[in-house]
């Protein structure tokens, strides 16, 4: 048996990914050493930050493309895992991978066993994983939502955004969702948001103003650019922002720091209205909040209080194209590759 692997082919240029950025290879099956296990990738998460790693050089040409995965243990030489266990790990863009001693877990993405009875296993790279925790940390921990406040969420139908919208509703906020297609706006209304606005509309800023008659108390920032321009004049005195991501800027030329440009752009309004801006990095919340978060979110999912839309695409070989589509907004829900058959689902 052999392994199938996507490696980074070169340091990517500005803009969005193209085929020449990646190289498909058939390679020898990895052999687990003592303290390691071999796992088969079932689901692979595609996330905007992966493009940032490639653009910045954190991932080097020749490296296996990084990605969080849900996998099945096939051979274990670790005391804590057995054959057949389902795990969260970081196999990356490959069909099989090693986990354990001397294998990089990317700091805070430490492997863990997944209980298939708690939630569908794919959610361990979505709402029951880093993306759900990102939404929770930014909205609940950083911005402390109160009933009646207006919450504005950008990239609202995506992996993080859809969770923010629903948590906002559960915490009693009036939720204004921003997304890029009619289909996405309709979906967001079924999740219980109060208003949904398209950032592609020529009258986006006016429509957003109309959707926020009492201004904006909390802004969950996923996008930056023209969307941020629309939100800035609506920020109330003592409003709060969780600066989660700036996806509209991820294809920029090298040498620009989107976060500091974003801060400079908003600074006059931030100072005048004493806006609290919280930089969000989910890795800072794992140790203290992940266990409690998983318990709370598991309860919401089982009760049907939170729903989670996944955009599952088949075939590891299609990964680069789907990755580019996600960055361009051609995804609908949390984007993931279905790499191998899910043993917990009846086919
Ligand atoms: N701080 C952290 O620790 C952390 C952790 C996880 C994620 N993030 C950030 O959270 C954000 C969302 O990530 P995700 O994984 O949930 O991705 P996602 O929302 O599922 O997918 C990206 C979405 O961004 C929107 N988008 C792309 N270009 C845009 C543009 N120019 N203007 C407006 N919208 C645009 C598209 O939606 P539309 O069709 O609606 O335009 C697209 O579907 C990203 O910025 C990511 O970097 C941060």
Pairing of strands 86-89, 69-76: antiparallel
- Residue nearest atom 20 of ligand 1, based on CA coordinates: 158
Instruction: Answer yes or no: do 277 and 144 share one domain.
Output: yes
In 129-202 the beta strands, taken as DSSP E runs, fall at 150-153, 174-179, 195-198
Is residue 288 assigned to a domain? no
Which mutation among 329, 332, 336 tests ligand 1's pocket best, with the greatest number of atoms within 8 A of CB?
329
Residue 105: pLDDT band (50, 70, 90) is confident
Domain of 184, CATH number, reads: 3.40.50.720
Instruction: Answer yes or no: do 163 and 207 share one domain.
Output: yes
Lowest-confidence region among 98-112, 161-175, 227-241? 98-112
Instruction: Answer yes or no: do 151 and 264 share one domain.
Output: yes
Instruction: Answer yes or no: do 90 and 195 share one domain.
Output: no
Instruction: Answer yes or no: do 122 and 134 share one domain.
Output: no
Instruction: Answer yes or no: do 102 and 161 share one domain.
Output: no
Domains of the chain: total: 2
Instruction: Answer yes or no: do 120 and 142 share one domain.
Output: no
Instruction: Answer yes or no: do 151 and 99 share one domain.
Output: no
Which residues have a Cβ under 8 Å from the Cβ of 134 and sit 6 or more positions away?
160, 244, 280, 282
Instruction: Answer yes or no: do 319 and 176 share one domain.
Output: no
Instruction: Answer yes or no: do 269 and 149 share one domain.
Output: yes
Residue 253: pLDDT band (50, 70, 90) is confident
Q: Which residues line ligand 1 (CB under 6 A)?
A: 47-49, 131, 134, 155, 157-161, 179-181, 184, 199, 222-223, 225, 227, 244-245, 247-248, 280-282, 326, 329, 331, 334-335
Domain of 35, CATH number, reads: 3.90.180.10
- The helix (run of H) or strand (run of E) holding residue 235 is strand 235-243
Domain containing 209 equals 130-283
Is residue 63 assigned to a domain? yes
Instruction: Answer yes or no: do 68 and 198 share one domain.
Output: no
Percent of the chain past pLDDT 90, that is, above it, reads 94
Mean pLDDT, the chain, rounded, equals: 96
DSSP helix/strand/coil, 99: strand
């Amino acid at each position: 048996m052999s392994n199938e692997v996507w490696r980074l082919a070169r340091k990517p240029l500005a803009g969005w990914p193209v085929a020449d950025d990646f190289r498909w290879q058939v390679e020898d099956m990895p052999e687990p050493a003592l303290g390691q296990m071999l796992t088969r990738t079932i689901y692979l998460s595609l996330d905007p930050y992966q493009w940032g790693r490639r653009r910045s050089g954190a991932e080097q040409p020749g490296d296996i493309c990084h990605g969080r995965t849900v996998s099945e243990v096939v051979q274990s030489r670790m005391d804590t895992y057995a054959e057949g266990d389902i795990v969260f790990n970081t196999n990356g863009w490959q069909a099989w991978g090693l986990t354990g001693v001397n294998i990089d877990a990317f700091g805070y993405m430490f492997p863990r066993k997944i209980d298939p009875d708690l939630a569908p296993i794919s959610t361990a790279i979505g709402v029951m994983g880093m993306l759900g925790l990102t939404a929770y940390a930014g909205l609940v921990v950083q911005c402390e939502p109160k009933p009646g406040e207006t919450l504005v969420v950008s990239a609202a139908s995506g992996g993080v955004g859809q969770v923010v919208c629903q948590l906002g509703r559960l915490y009693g906020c009036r939720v204004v969702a921003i997304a890029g297609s009619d289909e996405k706006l309709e979906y967001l209304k079924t999740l219980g948001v109060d208003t949904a606005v398209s950032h592609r509309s020529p009258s986006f800023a006016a429509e957003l103003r109309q959707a926020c008659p009492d201004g904006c108390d909390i802004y969950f920032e996923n996008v930056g650019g023209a969307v941020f321009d629309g939100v800035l004049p609506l920020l109330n005195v003592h409003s709060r922002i969780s600066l989660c991501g700036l996806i509209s800027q991820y294809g920029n030329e090298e040498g620009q720091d989107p976060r500091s440009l974003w801060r400079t752009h908003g600074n006059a309004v931030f100072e005048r209205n004493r806006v609290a801006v919280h930089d969000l990095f989910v890795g800072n919340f794992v140790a203290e909040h992940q266990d409690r978060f998983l318990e709370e979110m598991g309860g919401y999912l089982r009760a049907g209080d939170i729903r989670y839309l996944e955009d599952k695409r088949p075939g590891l070989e299609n990964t680069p194209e789907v990755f580019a589509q996600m960055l361009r907004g051609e995804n609908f829900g949390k984007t993931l590759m279905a790499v191998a058959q899910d043993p917990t689902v009846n086919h």
